[in-house]
Structure 1
Amino acid sequence: MDNTQWKAIFSCDSRYDGKFFYALSSTGTFCKPSCSSRTPNPKNVRIFYNEEAARSSGFRPCQRCRPDHADWEGLKRELFVKTKKYILHHYDQKLTLKDIGDALEKNPYYIQRTFKEMMGISPLQFLHDVRIEKSKGLLKEGHLSTTQISFDVGFSSLSHFSKVFKEKTGMTPKRYREVN
């Protein structure tokens, strides 16, 4: 491994994707230089110039960067879309990052990073946005109590609902109902 390759691995430089792959003797996997996994120990790194050479040396593709797939961004986008759909379908339930990870069979922290990279906000912030938008509609209808609405949209307490609602809209749920 030369200094340029190490710098590419260390900085996750996507400009070197396809020019070489690095394999880790500690994990038995090979990655693209842009892989977002932890920075490896240089003692464990082997360089390969094509995927076949890495495979024939006994290394398997990394599950994170998928060096055996040409479109890494497509895989991240797919995970982002699945996460977004899952949140939209389950916003009214108690929902944690671990729950989403279990449902999608992915590492919760990878979901968090990917979602934030694609959308600019965390899955929790998106969940709160969805819940607040749903609650606005219910507040406008006017037939449910604020407490009932808070539970119907997935909040576990009225105080947390009120706090998040005020952060997102600049007014309390009661005030929002009065002006709409």
Structure 2
Amino acid sequence: MNERTRISDNEKWQAVINCARNYDSLFFYGVKTTGIFCRPSCKSKTPIRGNVIFFNNAANAIASGFRPCKRCCPDKIIFKPELEIIKKAKDIFHTTYNKQVNLQYVSRQLGVSINHLIKLFKQHTDFTPIQYISKIRVDKAKELLKQGDISILEIAYATGYKSLSNFYKCFKDQTGYTPSEYKKSRGEL
């Protein structure tokens, strides 16, 4: 008899209620009303007990017509939620770098607090989210400056800066050159 069959449904249910990570590879649970299956450690809202069915593995859940949860990714063998948060944050930053940064909005989208987002991001990238966005903006500005046909003011606004002085400061801090010097050299610096 293997370890999976020795876990009672009551014990499994307690693991679900407590979001117990130590049960993650031992079983999965599906929610009949949503058609989604999760790991025991999933931080999604606790379902009603009567709507829950337990599975020994992800393949059985999929075969029964359940979809994997997008939050805990039970279909992945190795799942590191911190890395998923960082990846999603980077995706958001790369698509919205030219807009005003609202970390509260981003953290809500990712289901974490602002402080947790900043801590995780710094831990995994060596940048704060604001530093990372600034790097994206300067990299994009460098591309546009190499083209030579767009004014520095237009580039500053196109890359999300609200003032030319802030653009100059961030650009020089990261590259060691002013945008004008970089533009004249066509990126040869």
> Corresponding residue for 1:121?
127
Aligned pair partner of 1:87 in 84, 88, 93: 93
Secondary structure of the corresponding residue to residue 77 of structure 1: helix
Please name the residue that 1:42 is paired with: none
Deviation at 1:126, TM superposition (A): 0.7
**Cα distance in structure 2, aligned partners of 1:153 and 1:72:** 36
Instruction: Determine whether 1:55 maps to 2:61.
Output: no
2:165 to 150, 156, 159: 159
For 1:84 and 1:124, how far apart are their aligned partners in 2? 11
Q: 2:148 aligns with which of 142, 148, 155?
A: 142
1:94-124 CA-partner distances (Å, limit 9, x unpaired):
0121131133232111111111111111111
Distance (whole Å) between structure 1 residues aligned to residue 167 and residue 88 of structure 2: 26
Given that 2:18 and 2:41 are in contact with CA atoms closer than 8 Å, whether structure 1 keeps it comes out as no
Q: Distance in 1 between matches of 2:131 and 2:40?
A: 31
Tell me the residue number matched to 1:46: none
Write the letter of the residue equivalent to 1:68. Answer: S
- Amino acid paired to 1:135: A
Q: What CA distance in whole angstroms lies between the structure 1 residues aligned with 2:14 and 2:161?
A: 48
Distance 1:67 1:168, change over 3 A: farther
> Does 2:95 align with 1:76?
no
What's the counterpart of residue 109 of structure 1?
115
In structure 1, stretches of 5+ residues that fail to align are 1-51
Structure 2: 5+ residue runs without aligned partners?
1-10, 21-38, 43-73
TM-score, normalised to structure 1's length? Answer: 0.61
Equivalent residues, number: 126
CA distance in 1, matches of 2:78, 2:162: 37
Displacement of 1:54 = 10
Please identify runs of 4+ aligned residues in structure 1 that moved more than 3 A.
52-56, 59-62, 69-73
Could you say if the C-alpha distance between residues 73 and 53 of structure 1 is closer, same or farther in structure 2, counting changes exceeding 3 Å?
closer
| Displacement after TM superposition at 1:67 (Å) | 8.1
- In the TM superposition, what is the alpha-carbon distance from 1:144 to its structure 2 partner? 1.4
Identical amino acids, percent of aligned pairs: 28
Distance 2:129 2:142 in 1: 20
Name the Cα RMSD after superposition: 2.8
TM-score, normalised with respect to structure 2: 0.59
**Aligned match of 2:176:** 170
**d(CA) in 2 for partners of 1:81, 1:139:** 28
